[in-house]
Structure 1
Amino acid sequence: MNPPKPTALQAIMTIMLTVGITNHVFIIPALLQVAKRDAWFSVILSIVPFALLILLIAYISARTKGKSLPDWLESNYGKRLSIPFKFISAAYFLGTAWFALFDTIMWTKVTFLPYTPMVITAAVLMLICLIAAQLGVNSMAYASGVLLPFVVLLGFYVATVNVQYKDYHQLLPLLEHGWAPPLKGIIYACTGLFEIFFLLFLQPYLKTPLTNKHFVIVGFILVGLTLGPLTGSIAEFNPHEASLQRYPAYEQWRIAGFGKYVSQTDFFSIYQWLAGVTVRIAVALFIATDIWNISKKRQRSALLLFYAVGLTLLCLTTFTDIQFQHLMIRFMFPFNTGLILIVTLLLAFAVFISAHKKGESGT
């Protein structure tokens, strides 16, 4: 007997972990470097394009009626569109998995495992993600339901404990260097927010289709996940100091204590980070494999293993942390924003044309 499909709530919790690690950790250094004090204002401004993207995604979701996007494209436009879409989607999700894996093992080396070879850290983390992806989306959704509440509680804890060190006057004045920095920062803010796009790939596995209300709820959550640690970093460290930090969200944990006798609680950040990145990589591996509709379990497992080994070996690249950060800010984040926007627009156009043709054929 097949296990029950995940609910919309479990999908939202999975997205909070999968995308939340990007909004909460990965993009904040880039935002601070590009927009400095106005980084939080960039997030506010990005709500406009983000809202438009949510409308497009909700429209696509409603018209495809929870069907797999490659299957929908093939049934409406044939393989000439579905095959390229599969290649682009698989490459995108594998790139997402590699980025999360490499940044995580770089973080572990810089913070608490300086003498452990990076390939060992990468292999152990990838093995856990491989097992999760092999078990399927149900297991990842249930795991998210267990992991997320503790991640959220720890987030509220560090935000509350550090209030004594925060000076929110650091958020002002706005537009100190004109409109250029916050406008440039919109690209980076949208990098994480636009990943709500992932829901279109998860919806075929859910018990009930996602509604407009679900997309709006996820949208509010993702904006909050970006604004919280970003404003906290500026208020605690000042804009200049925060922009120099490699992991501002982690630095907030380093000054958070627990009572009189525990002066450091940064070990909690390890749980938060690994919970998010494990689900993120597992979801990316699952989608990159499932998109090919492989029916045989052995072939599916072989493809998953191939992906996992390949991503682990890619971590042996000789990027330094500075080079990797430069690659993220100059290329990866802007490319990610542009790709999701273009693919979403093309899908919405394809859905509109299909609905128009069906309307004409029905008249």
Structure 2
Amino acid sequence: MIRSPKPTKLQAIMTLMLTIGITNHVFIIPALLQIAKRDAWFSVLLAAIPFAIVVCLIGFASSRIGTEALPEWIRQRLGRFPALLFQCVMTVFFFATAWFSLFDTVMWMKVTFLPYTPVLATSLVLMLLCLGGALKGMKTIAITSGILLPLVVLLGFYVAIVNVEFKDYSLLFPLLEQGWDPVIRGVLYTCSGLFEYYFIFFLQPYLKAPLNKKQLFIFAFILFGLTLGPLTGAIAEFNPFEAAVQRYPAYEEWRIAGFGKYVSQTDFFSIYQWLSGSCIRISFALIVIADMWRVPAARWRPSLLITLAVILVPLSCYTFSDVTFQHLMIRYIFPIDAYFILGMTLILAAVSMFRPRKKGRST
């Protein structure tokens, strides 16, 4: 168990809502619309089946793991080498998660409201914010999430309500115009976001007690709604084909929302929403990486976090063009992410059946 000031369970759920919610609410939707068009929302409904299975597996494993750090828990059951291998794999995974989030956020700022600002400047400022949060630790991130999330949620309901007059939900039908293949592919992309529910394993070591079954299922239901809501809204507002060619449909929904008679655009609110999710997500990934490699030296953790930040900034600026990144995201990143998290969930559920190894005896 990690010995530090403990976030509450409510703060933990809020942290996960911002960390995972931005993937389901923003990142996944463009890919879903390009793959499945009008049937994208139907893919989300079908994804409820594999997602429910994964939630049950995570709930089962979580009850066995409790608030113990995963590397130590694995070491007690399988030995040092599997624990070391797990640490290496998850370090790469969370580093890729931080890079993906930083890159997509910087590109969004470049495309939407900072076209003449160098991407290096926006990447550096955003990375400094995330580094500051990571250096403070998970408790600070959890408290920050509790402050940021209520307004994020209120703004989400606001944009959904004020845009009702522009929505035509008959555009959600007819279904299966292109057959089942796009729908099944859409299920895979939906699962890529929903399966990040797996992040619960990496937050629970910071809590006094693990989330109970009721809290786990409530959070799963919220996560599912975070995908279905803006997706159906984008199709109903723009039609499935126009929404599919938009780079950021969730942002475009803000561009038609007004505030009374005298404010015609309120898209600046989306900046608050997006940056809240991105900052918490990147900080969360950095904290998990740093705390996974615990050593006695007190100076080691800040040095590691600063090194990761220094590497991430140029990677987010000069690796790919936005078009290339979008192709990689749809073709490789999301499918690999879904299969990887599913595989790790199955492994942890299987390992949870093992008893801890006793000294002097083999398992």
1:30 alignment partner in structure 2: 31
1:184 alignment partner in structure 2: 185
The separation in 1 between residues aligned to 2:175 and 2:76, in whole angstroms, is 51
The TM-score, its normalising length taken from structure 2, stands at 0.96
The TM-score, its normalising length taken from structure 1, stands at 0.96
The 10-residue stretch of structure 1 (60-69 or 82-91) with the greater mean CA deviation from structure 2: 60-69
Residue 114 of structure 1 aligns with an amino acid whose one-letter code is P
3-state SS of the aligned residue for 1:41?
Answer: helix
The separation in 1 between residues aligned to 2:229 and 2:102, in whole angstroms, is 24
2:324 alignment partner in structure 1: 323
1:242 alignment partner in structure 2: 243
Structure 1 contact 119–316 (Cα < 8 Å) conserved: yes
Shift of 1:353: 3.1
**Structure 1 unaligned blocks of 5 or more:** none
Shift of 1:317: 2.1
The separation in 2 between residues aligned to 1:158 and 1:133, in whole angstroms, is 31
1:252 alignment partner in structure 2: 253
The 10-residue stretch of structure 1 (2-11 or 334-343) with the greater mean CA deviation from structure 2: 2-11
Structure 2 contact 123–317 (Cα < 8 Å) conserved: no
The 10-residue stretch of structure 1 (335-344 or 72-81) with the greater mean CA deviation from structure 2: 72-81
3-state SS of the aligned residue for 1:19?
Answer: helix
1:277 alignment partner in structure 2: 278
1:126-145 superposed matches below 5 A: 126-145=127-146
The separation in 2 between residues aligned to 1:286 and 1:131, in whole angstroms, is 11
3-state SS of the aligned residue for 2:81?
Answer: helix
1:86 alignment partner in structure 2: 87
The separation in 2 between residues aligned to 1:4 and 1:109, in whole angstroms, is 38
The separation in 2 between residues aligned to 1:318 and 1:344, in whole angstroms, is 30
1:1-363 superposed matches below 5 A: 4-354=5-355
Structure 1 contact 129–282 (Cα < 8 Å) conserved: yes
The 10-residue stretch of structure 1 (156-165 or 295-304) with the greater mean CA deviation from structure 2: 295-304
The separation in 1 between residues aligned to 2:218 and 2:314, in whole angstroms, is 38
The separation in 2 between residues aligned to 1:133 and 1:154, in whole angstroms, is 26
3-state SS of the aligned residue for 1:208?
Answer: coil
| Structure 1 runs of 4+ with >6 Å offset | none
Residue 302 of structure 2 aligns with an amino acid whose one-letter code is S
Q: Identity of counterpart residues, as a percentage?
A: 59
Shift of 1:316: 3.0
The separation in 2 between residues aligned to 1:337 and 1:291, in whole angstroms, is 22
Per the alignment, do residues 319 and 3 of structure 1 end up closer, same or farther by CA in structure 2, a change over 3 Å counting?
Answer: closer
Q: Encode CA deviations 1:300-350: one digit per residue, 9 max, x unaligned.
A: 100000001101121232411111100100000001101100111111111
The separation in 2 between residues aligned to 1:162 and 1:111, in whole angstroms, is 20
The separation in 2 between residues aligned to 1:54 and 1:286, in whole angstroms, is 24
Residue 152 of structure 1 aligns with an amino acid whose one-letter code is V
Shift of 1:4: 4.3
Structure 1 contact 38–182 (Cα < 8 Å) conserved: yes
The separation in 2 between residues aligned to 1:113 and 1:174, in whole angstroms, is 38
**Aligned-residue CA RMSD in angstroms?**
1.4
Shift of 1:214: 1.6
